[in-house]
Every structure is written in C-alpha cells, then in structure tokens.
Structure 1
Amino acid sequence: MISQRRLANQYVTITYDMMLKKNIIRCLLIVGLTIAAASADAQIQPGSIPQYIVHNRTVAAFPIVSNGKAATIVADPEDWKGVIRAANDLGDDIRKVTGILPAVVQSQTLSQGAILVGTIGKSRIIDKLIADGKINVSSVKGQWESFVIQTVGKNLVIAGSDKRGTIFGIYDVSEKIGVSPWYWWADAPVKKSSNLYVKSGKYIQGSPKVKYRGIFINDESPSFSGWANAKFGGINSKMYVHMFELLLRLKANLLWPAMWGNAFNEDDPMSPVLADEYGIVMGTSHHEPMMRAQKEYTKRKDEIGPWDYTTNAEKLQKFWYDGLERNKNFDNLITIGMRGDGDVPMGKGEDEANIKTLRSVVADQQDIIGKVYGKSPSLVPQAWAIFTEVQRYYDAGLKVPDDVTLLFCDNNWGYIRRIGPEKEKNRKGGLGLYYHIDMNGGPWSDRWINTTTLPKLHEQLNLAYQTGINREWIINVGDLKPKELPIDFIMHYAWNPDAIPASRISDYTINWAEGIFGKTHAQEIADIVAKYAKYNLWRKPEVQDPRLFSFVNYHEADRQFKLWSDLAAKAEAIEKQIPAEAKDAYYQLVLYPAKASAGVAEIYLDAGRNNLYARQGRVSANDYAKQARDLFELDQQLSNRYNDSIAGGKWKNMMLDVHIGYKQWSMPRQNQLPELKEVSPLASPAMGIAVEGSEQAWPGTEARAELPAFDVIGKQRYYIDVFNRGRGAFQFTASADQPWIKLTATKGTVEKEIRLYVDIDWKSIADGKVKGNVKIQQADTAITVAITAIKINLPHTGQPYFGGWGEFSIPAQKFSVNVPGRDAQWIPLPDLGRSVACMGISPVTAPSANAETAARLEYAIFLPDTGLVKVCLGILPTQDVNPQRGLRIAVSIDDQAPQILDARKGFHDEFREYTRASLAMSPGLKPLPPIGENYALVSRGKPRRDEVFDNLRWLDVKLDVNKAGMHKLKVFMIDPEVVLDNIVINPDDKYPSYFGAPANEHQ
C-alpha cells in the first residue's frame, strides 16, 4: 500500500457526542407496531412494545409449544382465504423455531388449549367469544387493519377487525417468536427455541396512521427480471406470492407491480387472484391508468391506435373499461389521469392544452369507474399522481374530484416537491406520496445500492406526514434488493410516525440488526449499515467522478478513503464471527453493500490520485492505476458471489446492474473504469516536489512553491511530498532557514515517494506575520518551499468557539446558544446530512416567522480581522415545497439586522429540466447553476456538480465585521422546512474542496 493512504490517520473519526437539548420531546422507539398491553381494555402510551412471547413458563401463560407439544391453530373455514393461509404460515413458523409442527385445523368449534384466529364478523369462533363476553373488541371493531391478541382462559385469541388486521396479528406472533419478515427475502435466520409461551394479557393494535403503505417494483431489468426468470421462469405468481407475504409480514398492504415489459394481470392471470386472496391491494404505476399495464397497450397498439386522447378517446376508453372490468372484484387502488406512452409528457408540450385534455380524461375515467362498479366513483379508491410535468398542471389550477387521492411526488432523489397544501387538508380522498429510493432517469440514475439513509427518510417523510400526506405512501424500491433496510423502516414508520422520533433512529437500526443477527453484533452491524448509506449519500456511486474530492486540500481524499476502508474492514471482521446460519443474510444486508460501495468509492479516489500524480510525473501514479484495476476486478468478484454463491445460488442475477462509469443518466452497457494514466519513468531517478494546497509540481512550474499559511488558530501541519520521476532511487536533504520551522525528516532515500510534514514551534515566534523557507535538495536540484506563519493572541473564553484566519467550518449542531421562538425551536436531527447531525425545526408545521419572534441559533466565532466576511450556510436541498412563500432563513452577526436568504432566489426547477432532457435520451445532462453567488466551496469547474448530486445547497451572505475578536453568528428560522447542515466562513477559492475546511474549535 502506498504511503499516502496511511496519511488518512490524520482524520479524527466523527463521534456521536451531541447532547440533545432538554426541551426536545422524548418518545420511546417503536420497532414493531404500536401495541398496547394492559389489564381490561386500558391502553398504555404508544411506543411501548410488550414482548409478549417468553421462553419459560410464567404464571397463567399460554403455551404455544411446551415439552415437545404444540398448541393447535384453529381458523373458521368461512374466514378469508388469506387468514387461513396466514394461519398455516404461523404453524410453519412455529416449526421453524421449535422443530414442532402444530396442527392447523379449519373448524367453527371452540377448542381448549388452542390458538384461535379469526376476523370479527367473519369467524364464528371469534364472534362467539364476543357474544359470550369472553373478549371485548370494541377498541378495534370496525377499524382499519386493527387486531387484538389476548389470552382467554386456556386459549390464545388473535382477532382482527378486517382481513388484513387478522393477518397482521398472526404475523405479529410469528415475528415475536423469532421469524423475521425477511426470512425469505434476505435469508434472515430463524431464532430457535424449544418452548414458546405468551404472557397473560391483552394486546391491542390500533389502525395505521398511513392508510395505504406499499412498494413499487421498478427499473427491474436486468437484475430483478434476470433473477425472476432464472428462479421462477418469469415475473409471475410463483414469485409474487413471496412478495405478497413479505409485505404482509411488514404490515404493508399495497403493491405496484413490475412494469418494464411486464403485465401483472395478463402475464400470469393467477397473480391478481392470489394478490386478492393474500390481502394485497393492487395498483398500477403513476403513468398506467385504470389497472392497465403499459405492456397491455403496447401489444395491442395496432388494434387500439395512438395513445392520444385528443384523437383516439373512444378506443382508449374501451381499453380502460375492459381492464377495470377484469379487475373489479379484486381489492384495487386505481390510478387515474394520463401521461404519454412510456412515462413521458403527453401532448406537444403546451400546458394549457394538456390541462384541458386531462380534465376530459379524468371525467371520462370516473364515468367508467361508476359504470364498472355500479356505484358512485367516490366509493372506489383512486389516486392521481402529480408527477413531473403534472406538478405544473396542478399548480396552474388543474383539479380532480375531491374523492381522489392526490399523490404528490419527490424530485426522484428523495426530496418531496410539495408539503400538504392547506387548501387540500380536508379533501375526502386525502393526500398521498410517491417517493423514490431507486431511480432510473433524470436527474440521474440511482439504482445499484442503497444510498438512502434512515435519517433522511425520517426528515422527509415526517415533513410529508405532519402536513397531512397520510392516505397513501408508495415507494419506488427498484429491484427490492438491496433496499431491505429502508423498506423495513418506511413500512414501520408509516404505521405510526409519531412513535419514531429522529432522536431514536439509531435505536431502530440496532433493533433491526438484533432482530436478524442477535444482540452480540447488533450495534456494530447497525453502525455499518448506517454508515455505508451515509457515505453513499455524500456522493452516489452513479455520479462519482475522480475529480470530486480534493487530493491537496484538507486531506479530504485521504479522509474519504480511510472512512471507506475502515468500514469495509469492520464489515469483513464481523463476518468471521457471524454464525454459519446467518452468513447469507450478513452478505446480503451488510458485507456486500458495505464492501462493494467502498470498492467503488475507492476506485474513483484511486483514479483521481492516479490522474493527478500522472500530471505531476510521479512514477507512483502507476500503482494507483493498478489499485483501481484490482478494485474493479474485486467489484466483479463480489457481484459474482452474490449472484452465484450465497444461499445456494438463490439470488442468481440479482446483482447485474451496471454501476461504474456512468456518463449520462442511463445505465452504461457495462462497468467501465474511469480514465487511468500510465507514467513512463525517466531512465534515471529524478526528484519532484509537490506541496499541500497545490496540484502543481516542481521543478517544472514557474510559480514558486509555497505552503498554505500557518496560523496559531488552526495550528496546522502541512506536507511536502518528495517523489521520484524516474527509475531507481535517490537521496535528498531537507532544511529550514528558520528555527521555528520543524520538519519530520531532514534526509531520506526515495524510490517512489516520501511525505515530509512541516510544523511550527509557536512558542518561538513573535506576534505578527513571519516568513521562512524549506529547501529540498537532490544532487544539483534544489526546490525552495515558502513558509508563512501568523501568530496573534487568542481569546480565552472558557467556552467553545470556532475561528480561523482563512476558511473554517462550523457544524450545525455545535451552537453555543439555542433560543426557542414563539412557535418553534431548533432541534438536532442526529446523523442527518454530512456530519454528526443537522439542525431542523420542530414542529415542521410551525408558521413562518420574522427575526424578532423566530427560533435562533448562536455560534461563538473568533474573527482576527475586520471587513466583509462571506458566510455560507449549507442547507439540505429541500424543494420548493410551499411556493406561496419561499424557503427562507436569516443570518446576522452580533446585533446587526438579520439578512434573509431565500433558497428559492433563482430557484431552478431541476426536476422538470432534467426530466425533459432524460426522457429525450440526452447524451448528457448539464449541471444546475448554484443557488447564491458563491461557488467556491463546491469547487468551481468540477464536473456534474449541483445541489441534487451533492445533497446540499449553499446560501451565501456577506456580513460586515467592524472589529476583530469574538462575535456571535446568529441563524434564524424563517420558514420551518429549512434544515441547516453546516456553516462555512471565508470560503477560499484558492483551496477548494467538496466538504470545505474542517472545523477549528477552541476554548
């Protein structure tokens, strides 16, 4: 390994030492459901999760399995088929855990010592228990998807308010005895036990807060389709039954099926039948109206005619009528509206004409719904997806009937485009959300691996939920794998968002890891899966570039490399300790995504260093080219292991997505290394010098070599690289002309390269600016490196403060004072954004404020000079969620008047522009202009840089500093959706970087 890699040990690992303020509302984590346990019908606070399954007999406990005998499971034969099927699953789950297979019988007779499962009003067994006063179901009867689990005499009763309520109750028992919802889809091991008991009591599950909760299988070729073809002979009912079961075990209820050349209802007519029997509500994607797949149209195109409602309305109406007639007896959530054929804008681009056409489309579709169902369309669940250009139509006044759910959307990369509009809060159909954790298209593809962190999901979904978007959440999950963790979180969070505050997301992840892998390594595994997604979100694999991170400023690339390599090493070390039965799950959920993500990031870092060193003429450039090629081969080996080896080849073809070498949004034909350069060494050794802060090399550069200024505030250590441009080795000497300049070495032998560090003896310097030189000499070649050091008296405040002579950062959560506003307060959002935490507003529904009444953060800073100081606020790239007022935040210094910054100033609708370009199959997409006047911090001239890809937006302001010394930098909430990630003072174009200069904290 080349020595520069070891330099990353300069990086100080981020520690999660943030103290939450006492005025934050503290809630308890809910990992499963909001289940209350109490005597009689009293319910305790949401968020308490009773583990009603125990493994040793307790007083009055019900034995599921005891002393080698299992309780019989009884279901009414007249109950829903899905309930009877789930009861059989429970029996098999008990077998998996204990080795004892219980009898599962269909009967309408009460049996002592049995598990009695059934639906209120559908099961005679349950109805008799109610009539006899044995159970009281008033808290769930007539509710949506609710259930009661109760020990009654010598029986255990699982009673649901409806079909899915009963099924959810059954699977709740399955999960608590030790069968993960991911036992099939991630090969999660089953927790073994010889005895299973239920503690005496009554456990009540209320209705979910989000009514429809589900996933959309999309962008499914080549991986998902290739896997399904290999394992099941196609994307058919044999495959879908596993997906239905997973959704039910996650207590989800909705599916948009795979649609890339697939037709759910026609490819296998048993698919919709089984979906209905299982209890899954079926829909179709945002651009496939009236339960018709696009493929159903394309294969009839000659018969139907053009997908143009202005010229072909009659035939399209019949097409829709026939599809709805076919599916009318199933449980559906019907997509209405219309886009162009193949998920493109309809019409010729004139919004006014398209709005007029869409009004006719929706009216005619509702007329068809009324005719097919023989009742008012208001009684049939429908949704209208306000996707891409449809957002413009909605904003321009296009309305749909009040009974239709308005399905708002994100920007394709996980930031919602609208909060729930006040004018729509009381609509009968409610508000929903179509959200991406996978994307194929504009602004860029994000398909291969999980790049969505749970803190980001929480921040955005909480914003949606708190503003009334709670009727339907449908999540584009791509191939489903490897998005297991975010899917798991979203489905649990949708059940009761209030039960998982931002402060407990880490606990959620630990509990998820423990539920699959046990307690021993749960915290370490949770750390790995949280970090690989976080690091990916800094820069997603498909938009990586060798030039993104600085190789010469702030050790940025070194720090990136160390973070990734440490994470991969940790994942590999834990794999050796994982039990054999959990290794397949560990590879899928932990090792592959962490190690493969690290490998891709390291490929680009190696390529970037190779390119820089080749320009400098370093012979070591070739080593980095080799390392990139080795990592490229490793990436293929990791994918091969996933596809061919784990779980006996069960997941063949699931990791076929191309993910290295994107040049445009669409997937390349094959993985391709970034450009690598080979250096031809000179015939004899030749010294070269490179210094921190510059990409130049000496000899060969006219400008003098100089290190960035040292100052007593930062007490920096800078490096000088002495490297070889030829074959063989050479000796060099290093000397300083001032006694206060300290070198880590004064001589050495260089075969490839050596890094010298320069420090300053601050006790030996007088106040002011001093200069000196370091001379590096090899034979007749000598290079002089200029040194500047600045010393001033620093204040001793007794409290932490930040400062620097040049550029420095302030992490958002490192405030000195947090002042609540009249209606809101700033709260930490742990692990959100680029660092330890962001600062967000609670509640997010607070009204906009002015500076006098606003919540305020204050940061203590030391500025050694006067004049205008540029301050950059790094905020999350929140979209234009409320166009009526803006996205504003204010900033001031000391007692000066606050300056309001609006993220919408020059706001660019990247969603519309990128979508138009991507759907036109543009050969490349141009980056967005930055918001604000400064672009130094985000490296002017770098490729494909914008707030979407960077997951950060910069707002700039110039503040007048009238005296040197200590100051208060104040940040005010104006609009509640703005989330503060980082603050950079004095951004320096001379030393650009991706993250900005590190923080200098003093006391």
Structure 2
Amino acid sequence: MLKQLVYIALLLAGILEHAQTLQNNILSLLPDYVQHTASAGAFKIAASGNAAKIMADPDDWKGVLRAANDLGDDVHKVTDAAAPVLTGTNPVPGAIIVGTIGRSKLIDRLISSGKLNVEDLKGKWESFVIQTVGDNLVIAGSDKRGTIYGIYDVSEKMGVSPWYYWADAPVKKSRDLYVKAGRYLQESPKVKYRGIFINDESPSFSGWAGKSFGGINSKAYVHIFELLLRLKANYLWPAMWGNAFNEDDPMSPVLADEYGIVMGTSHHEPMMRSQKEYTKRKDQIGPWDYVTNAENLKKFWTEGLERNKNYDNLITMSMRGDGDVAMGKGDDAENISTLRKVVADQREIIQKVYGKDPDQVPQLWAIFTEVQRYYDAGMNVPEDVTLLFCDNNWGYIRRTAPASELKRKGGMGLYYHIDMNGGPWNDRWINTTTVPKLREQFSLAYKSGIDRIWIVNVGDLKPKEMPIDFIMRYAWNPDAISATQTSDYMTDWATGIFGKEHAAEIADIVSKYSQYNLMRKPEVQDPEIFSFVNYHEAERVQKRWQDLAARAEALEKKMPEQALDAYYQLVLYPTKASAGVAEIYLAAGRNNLYAKQGRINANTYADRARTLFELDKKLTARYNDSVAGGKWKNMMSDVHIGYKHWSMPAQNALPPLNEVTPLPSPALGVAVEGNTEAWPGAEKTAVLPQFDVLDKQRYYIDIFNRGTGSLKFTAKADKPWIRLSDTKGTTATEQRLYVDIDWKKAPAGRGGGLIEIAQGNTRVPITVNTLKKAAPISRTPYYGGYSGEFSIPADKFSAKISGDNAEWIVLPGLGRAETCMGINPTTAPGSAPEKAPRLEYRIFLPEAGPAKVLLGILPTQDVNPARGLRIAVAIDGQDPVVLDARKGYHDEFKEYTPANLMRSKTLKPLPDPGPGYALTSRGKPRRTEVFDNQRWLDVSLDVKTTGIHTLKVYMVDPEIVLERIIVNPDDQHPSYLGAPEKPH
C-alpha cells in the first residue's frame, strides 16, 4: 500500500510539473511548448549547430513572408545556427512550414490530405495553430495576422522578446530548441482592434527619429509595425503633431499594409486625412468650417479615401474644430445638427469611393470631450459605426458601455491615455501608470461591453514600454488576468526580458516606481504638497523613493553585461530619475519652510535640490548619449521639472529656493512637530501634539542655529515623567530632540507640563499635554485612539459580507496604497444598502457626538450617469447614509487636508467641467482629485456612546473603489496622505 501511495504521489508530482511547464507564464496565450531538450515526437528547431529550414508559399501575404524571415533571424539570434528561409509549394522534410489558410498551397495541401485539421480556426479573426505534423512543424493562420502572430509566438517562446529592438531586451541564448509534440490552438482575440497612438511626439520621438532615420518616416515606422505584431496587436494611429503619415513618406502606408497593420487617424482627424495635410493646404481649402466650407472639405476627404482605399483602414468619422478643440460657435443643438450633416456626407463619400454600403467599411466616432455631451444629449450615431468612448485624459474611463448600445453592429471601443499633453495637466515624461490600475479600468470597460477597439495614447512610445506590453496582451483575453494576478504578470514580464534570477526584484521595483509616481506625478509636483511637520509625511515619502532608488542601483551591479542597456531603460532610469524629481520638490519644500523659520540649514536643502537637478541632467544624458551606443539619442528630451501651468515649460527649472543669511553670532531657534512656526518670534505658544497612553507617541523638537558659530543649548522638563532624548547639546546647524512619556509615572486623566529650551538668556517654553486613560478592552483588533485623526486601509476590515448580486474583493497594488477594495462583478446592478455587500471596521471613538468620516476612493468618473456613483456608510445599527461621488467638485480650496477635499455634502456641486478642466488654488499647491489620484467623500455620523463601534461601508454602485478611510480628520495637523494607520 505504501508503495502504491508513493507511486501515486510521484505520478501527481509529474503531472503538476508537466502542467507547470505547459503554462508557467501569464504573458503567454499558449503553453510554453518550446523546450531545450528532446522528447518523444518533439520537433527540432535547432540542435548541435544545425537549424531547421523555414518554408512559405511565395504567393502568401508579403507580411507572412517577411515574418518568416524574422523567424529565421530569431533562430540564428538564439542558437547561432543558420535557419534558411525557402519559398515553394512542396514541403521539405524536417522544415517549419508557415502559411495562411486559403492563401498557402503548402497549408491547403496538408488540409486536403487530412494531415491538418483547421475546422476550429477556419474563417476566424486572427487565430492560429502550431502543430507537429509528421516530421514538420506547421504554423497555420486563419488570416494574414493569424499566421504572423503564430510565427512571432514561436520567436518569443524561443527567447526573443517583442522588446528586443525597442528596449534592447537581451536574446536568451540556447544551443538546442525543440517544440513539444502536440497541437496548440490560439483562439481569436476578445478585443478586435488593439493598438497605440504615437502622440505628443515632439521633442522626444521626433528628435530621436530625425537623428536615427532622417525623420518620422517608413524607416522608423517599420519598427513600430513589427513591435505591434510581436505583441499580437494590429492597429496604429500615427504621429500627427507636425507629421502626415501618408504624405511625409508614401512608403509608410504601403509598408503598414504589407506588414499587416490596420491604420487609422486620431480622434479629430477624419477620413484618413491628418491635420497637417489640412494645415499645409489651408489657403487652398479654406476654413475648417462645415457650415461655410462643406464642398471643399468633402473634396479634401474624398481625395484622402481614394489614396488609402486599397489598404486596411479603420476610418475616423465626424470632425472637431481645427486644432483639436470644440467645433462651431453656436450652441450644442446647432453643433449636433452640423455633425449629423457631416457624418451623413462622409458616409456618402465612403459609398462612392469604396463602391459598397458604408456598413461594410470599418468606421469609428470618438465620443471625446464635448462630443460626449452631444452624445448624452441624444446625438445619433449610425448603427454600424463603432462608438469610441474615452478616458478623462489621466486614465479613468468616462463611460462604461450603455445598455442601449450593447447590440450595436459597430460595437464600442475605448481611447485611453497613458500619456497626456493637455488638460487637466501634462503627464508625458515617465511612466506613471500601474498595471493594477490598467487592469481595473480596462476590465471595467471590457466587462460592460467595450471590446471592439482599444487604442492607447502612448506619447513617444518610450518610456511607456511596460504599460503598452500589458494592455496589448490583456486585450487579447481580459478574462485571463485577474486582479490578484497583476503581480504575476509583472514577474513574468521581467522574466521575459531579464530572465528568472532577478525577475521578482525587478518586478517589484518597476511596480513601486510607477505606483509612487501615481501618488504624485512629476509634472504636478509642488514643494507644498507633502507635510514637513505632521506624521513625518515628507520623511516617509522621501525614504520610499530613496530606498527604491538604492535597490535599483544595487541590482544594476548584478545584471549581466548584455542586459544593462535594457535595465537602464526599463528599471534604473525611470526609478532613479523619478526619485530624483520627487526629492527635488521635497528638498525645495523643506528649504522654503526652513527659510521661513530662519534656519541656516535651509541652505543645505537648497544645495540638495540643485545637486539633484544636476543629477537629473546626467541621468538624461546617459539615456540619450550612452545607452545602446547612443541608439536612443534625443528620446528622453521632455522637460519635466518646473511646470507652472498645464503645458510643457521651455526648459527644466528648479522650484523657488530661498537662501538664509546667518546672523553674526549663534542664535537659538526652536520648531516643534505639528507646527510650521518657529520660536522665539512666533506669536502663538509652542505646543506639541497630544500624547496619550494608547498610542504612546514620541514627538520631536528641532533646535537650530540662526547664526554663525556653535550654538550651545539646554533642555529641561518640569515633570519627571516627561522624558527627553538629550538635556543639552552643541550644534552649528540643528539637532533633533525626542520627547516621550513615562506612562507608569504620568498622572491619570489629563496632564500637562512644560519643556524649556534655553540658550543663555533666550528661553522657549513648549507645552506638553497628556491623556492617560484605560485602553478599551477588545479581543479583536480595532483602529482609533484618544488623539484625533486616524486612518484605516480599506483592506483591513473586520468583516466582509456579500450582497445579493456582488461582493467586495481585494485589489492588490491599486491606487496610492498597497491594496484597495472593489466590487465583483463590476457589472452588478446598483443595490439598496440593505441588500448590498458591505465592509465592517471596528473603531474606537473616545467621545460621543458627531464624528466625521472620510472615504478615500479612486477618482472613478461618472461612468453611468443615469444611475450615479454612490456608496453608503453607517455606524453600528444606524441607517446608512448614501453619498454620491459625482457631487464632490470643488470651487475653492482652503487647507490641503482630507477634511477639506471633495466635500460631497457641504459644498455646492459644480457641473462636470469635462476632462480639460483643472482646478487651481490661488497660489497654493495644485490639488484636484485627478492630480491626487484620490477623491474624498465625507459624512458626519452620530456616535451615541464612547467605546468600540462598527463602521459599515456599503456598495450602492459597483464601480467605486475604496482605498482608505479617515476618521475625525485633524485640520490642525494637515497632511496629504492622512495619519498613518495604527491598529490596536
């Protein structure tokens, strides 16, 4: 019996090991069928210095023949063995046969002979099969791109990353390559058109292309075409700022079609004509005004379609004003009427040029900015035209699929930004988008029915490699990566480029730098954002960045030589440069505060900001001049420091810095935690924040020199239970003392005392307040205390109760925190609180009466305006209070604390200003829910008794994501992130 159990265990272990080898990479649509040792029935790609031949029918698509040659090159890159590519119709024994069903005689003969069964992919969109047939390996596609994807799937599994060119990803060398015997079928993608938009391309992309290829021309574009195909994408909007894809280089559209790329134009460039094509003919065509100049515009559009009609296109319809602005001078009703006429005439042009009904020609209409308002007002869009909904320019979708459109023939698509040049503010320089955020937003879109087109504004393409990779892979099958698998994706992405040894560390570094940027993006950094006196907030943020940069630098020393270029581009530069910019603003903020206080150490932080500014120049120069032998010259040229309005400044510039002139002799200065004032000199008394026996706080006192020479000081408490880290000292600049309480000796109830800091005859008294009460007795953890504000991470609930149709689930890595809580499924109907899923949190409240509760949610847009964007909260058994997140727009800011942000009940709601609207704050730090990547909703709850209570949060509408809860926000101690959590 024991032997049988051992045998069964070994058998199961073998099965599990086999399963792991067949599917051990979340990036892969198919099992990892390429192996490095021979097995029964395996096909030999290469071994012992010899490689298989590659065969294709010469009459197959040009893109297939080109990809076959790439496969031959890839085999050589990996194995150093030559893999000849042959064309013909008679198969060679032991060859890799590639071809398209119905186009390749090689494939069709295998089908007719019964050796290859393709019934499950015939006629499908972009499907392929990889199969060993006798002594051949067959890669057969249902269509042109299906075959090409199959070819590149083999390349990637051999060890050639899709990013071998665009990120200099090292090729994984192997002497022997085999394909495991079997049949590997790839079904069609869930999202039909999947692509990118090269945009905001000057100065970086245009400067790089000009230096490398003489301009943004076909020589540059073929590298983009190949990248898209290797990522199994198919769609491109070309660069358009100062470029005309079809006219700058007439070979560009020809090669796009040969490669197999579907071409389009941006959301405001109709009928395959770029804006640049119009602007250089403006004198001949006349104004971009359909009311006064329709005939000339129709002629212009007709010529564009005639030029491109033989290529694979997805035609952008309608029109906006010249320069990507709202069209027309009239009211919305007049503009809607004009657009209806525009589209009707455009469809007549399509019918005339293509010689068939317009519903047979793929078209899209971008529901962008003001056009979304027209759509909401009832503007009709032809049934066969894809509705292209949009995000808010900063990565939050503005609409889920309306139920009324789910049966639309043209379906629905999404235009999404991971790069933005425009309102509400630029987000261009570095990657600031996390995979958990992408997955959450694209999943929300997909599950609602937005699955015809996903087109992503990627700016210069670099340095947005990681999010591009995720979106294109996710688009093939959004059901394949759950919210809890985003970290698996990151590890597998790192493995695919750098190998397994350091993949987990690389994945964590890249995840964290993008998340820290999401906390506050570089272009909207400000010296006053983070608090320098409350909760050690600025220190905590700085430590995060410095620790991460140190990890990235340490890992660089362990990377193999062939991976260093890729490592700098994908890991070290974005991490270290992002950390540098963040610390510049932290140093500037501390300089500004210290200068106000008269600290001579203010000059040290001014110098630190300048040093980091110079470091930023050096990091950029290395990227542009040294990496990959100067291959990426000019690619990192975006100005990214010193924004004062939404658009890019003329040059990088430090934030304002202040120099302090020391007094001629040592002079005492004192500052205390929780206050920006300094003594002597401030009018109010110096008071440390309250100490209490539950949290056992330790606070600091900064003693600093306002003059030259060495400052000698003494520190003395008037109560023996007030403990000081030092009672005297000497400093030329500053010294920090720490204060805590001996709670065994401290008096019961409320107590007080004084600390006196002295230098000669100069004395600064500091008030100490304490509270010594018995801690609540609880067998389970709770949050809260005796001293004001406290916060609770959304995932630290004490209970999670499912509702009738949905449940709260953990969303790791989402938002600014480590984890958020969201709803599954996001397609659940809205619910009354009593039937809704809820989260419960145990909290301690030391006083009865009103308690303010803030819910920190992600800035989800008004995705379903007919219903709302609601969440409910209650305490104990009281009735839930429903909050609508749509009613939180601010017209004025006071202090920049959670308590004063997005008050859903106390501030008058403003109309939705659209994604281009940016709120400013009268010279104070720029604060909006978009910039902060968080929206605050507040409610006042009636606490009947002191003690432990249950705070309940209910789903009402399923799109809201909860990140953080703050209770009793303390406006006397404002901060950006809120008080750190302290569970008891």
Q: TM-score range by the shorter chain?
A: over 0.9
The one-letter code matched in structure 1 to 2:904 is: G
Equivalent pair of 2:298/2:346 in contact (CA under 8 Å): yes
1:987 aligns to what SS in structure 2?
coil
1:634-653 alignment runs, 5 A limit: 634-653=615-634
Q: Does 1:903 align with 2:885?
A: yes
2:820 alignment partner in structure 1: 838
CA distance in 2, matches of 1:855, 1:470: 28
Which of these residues, 94, 98, 101, is aligned with residue 117 of structure 1? 98
CA distance in 1, matches of 2:256, 2:922: 52
1:653-692 alignment runs, 5 A limit: 653-692=634-673
CA distance in 1, matches of 2:379, 2:466: 37
* C-alpha displacement of 1:712: 2.0
CA distance in 2, matches of 1:908, 1:565: 34
* C-alpha displacement of 1:129: 0.8
Q: Does 1:181 align with 2:162?
A: yes
The one-letter code matched in structure 2 to 1:34 is: L
Equivalent pair of 1:168/1:248 in contact (CA under 8 Å): yes
2:364 alignment partner in structure 1: 383
CA distance in 2, matches of 1:906, 1:777: 49
Q: Does 1:974 align with 2:956?
A: yes
1:434 aligns to what SS in structure 2?
strand
Which of these residues, 772, 789, 806, is aligned with residue 807 of structure 1? 789
CA distance in 2, matches of 1:407, 1:311: 28
Equivalent pair of 1:29/1:508 in contact (CA under 8 Å): no
* C-alpha displacement of 1:349: 4.7
Equivalent pair of 1:939/1:992 in contact (CA under 8 Å): no
CA distance in 2, matches of 1:939, 1:539: 17
Q: Does 1:943 align with 2:925?
A: yes
1:117 aligns to what SS in structure 2?
strand
Q: Does 1:820 align with 2:802?
A: yes
Change (3 A) 1:940 1:535: farther
* C-alpha displacement of 1:735: 1.5
* C-alpha displacement of 1:929: 7.8
CA distance in 2, matches of 1:960, 1:1000: 23
CA distance in 1, matches of 2:131, 2:715: 80
TM-score (normalizing by structure 1) = 0.93
2:917 alignment partner in structure 1: none
1:540-551 alignment runs, 5 A limit: 540-551=521-532
2:87 alignment partner in structure 1: 106
Which of these residues, 564, 568, 577, is aligned with residue 545 of structure 2? 564
The one-letter code matched in structure 2 to 1:663 is: K
* C-alpha displacement of 1:834: 1.5
Q: Does 1:789 align with 2:747?
A: no
**Deviation per residue, 1:296-331 (Å, 9 max, x gap):** 111111111110000110110010001001000000
CA distance in 1, matches of 2:872, 2:533: 33
CA distance in 1, matches of 2:24, 2:359: 37
2:8 alignment partner in structure 1: none
1:435 alignment partner in structure 2: 416
Which of these residues, 742, 746, 758, is aligned with residue 727 of structure 2? 746
Which of these residues, 436, 440, 444, is aligned with residue 455 of structure 1? 436
Which of these residues, 610, 615, 621, is aligned with residue 629 of structure 1? 610
Which of these residues, 77, 85, 89, is aligned with residue 58 of structure 2? 77
1:56 alignment partner in structure 2: 37
CA distance in 2, matches of 1:768, 1:131: 92
* C-alpha displacement of 1:29: 8.3
Further displaced range: 941-950 or 753-762:
941-950
CA distance in 1, matches of 2:668, 2:456: 57
Equivalent pair of 1:33/1:205 in contact (CA under 8 Å): no
Equivalent pair of 1:713/1:803 in contact (CA under 8 Å): no
Q: Which runs of 5+ in 1 are unaligned?
A: 1-27, 36-49, 911-927
Q: Does 1:863 align with 2:845?
A: yes
1:117-196 alignment runs, 5 A limit: 117-196=98-177
* C-alpha displacement of 1:208: 0.5
Which of these residues, 581, 593, 599, is aligned with residue 618 of structure 1? 599
Change (3 A) 1:535 1:566: same
2:904 alignment partner in structure 1: 932
2:518 aligns to what SS in structure 1?
helix
* C-alpha displacement of 1:906: 5.2
CA distance in 2, matches of 1:135, 1:882: 48
CA distance in 2, matches of 1:909, 1:314: 44
2:576 alignment partner in structure 1: 595
* C-alpha displacement of 1:852: 1.0
Q: Quick one: higher RCO (CA 8 Å, sep 6+), 1 or 2? A: 1
1:1001 aligns to what SS in structure 2?
coil
TM-score (normalizing by structure 2) = 0.95
2:407 alignment partner in structure 1: 426
Change (3 A) 1:618 1:952: same
* C-alpha displacement of 1:737: 1.2
CA distance in 1, matches of 2:633, 2:659: 37
2:887 aligns to what SS in structure 1?
coil
1:923 alignment partner in structure 2: none
2:452 aligns to what SS in structure 1?
strand
Change (3 A) 1:987 1:908: closer
Q: Which runs of 5+ in 2 are unaligned?
A: 1-22, 893-899, 908-919
Question: Cα RMSD (Å) of the superposition?
Answer: 1.5
The one-letter code matched in structure 1 to 2:564 is: K
CA distance in 1, matches of 2:732, 2:607: 18
Equivalent pair of 1:29/1:507 in contact (CA under 8 Å): no
Which of these residues, 560, 563, 567, is aligned with residue 582 of structure 1? 563
Q: Does 1:482 align with 2:463?
A: yes
* C-alpha displacement of 1:729: 0.6
1:757-796 alignment runs, 5 A limit: 757-796=738-777
Equivalent pair of 2:876/2:950 in contact (CA under 8 Å): yes
* C-alpha displacement of 1:509: 0.3
* C-alpha displacement of 1:389: 0.5
**Deviation per residue, 1:638-662 (Å, 9 max, x gap):** 1111111110100000011000000
* C-alpha displacement of 1:762: 1.7
* C-alpha displacement of 1:942: 3.9
* C-alpha displacement of 1:765: 2.5
CA distance in 1, matches of 2:455, 2:462: 16
Equivalent pair of 1:931/1:953 in contact (CA under 8 Å): no
CA distance in 1, matches of 2:978, 2:906: 13
Which of these residues, 957, 973, 984, is aligned with residue 939 of structure 2? 957
1:32 alignment partner in structure 2: 27
Equivalent pair of 1:939/1:993 in contact (CA under 8 Å): no
Percent of aligned pairs sharing the same letter: 70
CA distance in 2, matches of 1:705, 1:909: 34
* C-alpha displacement of 1:733: 1.4
1:9 alignment partner in structure 2: none
**Deviation per residue, 1:769-808 (Å, 9 max, x gap):** 1111111111111111110111211123221110122000
1:211-222 alignment runs, 5 A limit: 211-222=192-203
Which of these residues, 833, 850, 856, is aligned with residue 874 of structure 1? 856
1:470 aligns to what SS in structure 2?
coil
Equivalent pair of 1:29/1:501 in contact (CA under 8 Å): no
Aligned residues: 942
CA distance in 2, matches of 1:520, 1:663: 43
Equivalent pair of 2:888/2:937 in contact (CA under 8 Å): no
CA distance in 2, matches of 1:32, 1:127: 31
2:338 alignment partner in structure 1: 357
Which of these residues, 867, 884, 888, is aligned with residue 870 of structure 2? 888
The one-letter code matched in structure 1 to 2:27 is: G
CA distance in 1, matches of 2:708, 2:676: 23
Equivalent pair of 1:145/1:208 in contact (CA under 8 Å): yes
* C-alpha displacement of 1:763: 2.1
Further displaced range: 897-906 or 114-123:
897-906
1:195-206 alignment runs, 5 A limit: 195-206=176-187
* C-alpha displacement of 1:768: 1.1
CA distance in 1, matches of 2:601, 2:587: 11
1:520 alignment partner in structure 2: 501
2:451 aligns to what SS in structure 1?
strand
2:834 aligns to what SS in structure 1?
coil
* C-alpha displacement of 1:32: 3.2
2:833 aligns to what SS in structure 1?
coil
Which of these residues, 818, 825, 829, is aligned with residue 811 of structure 2? 829
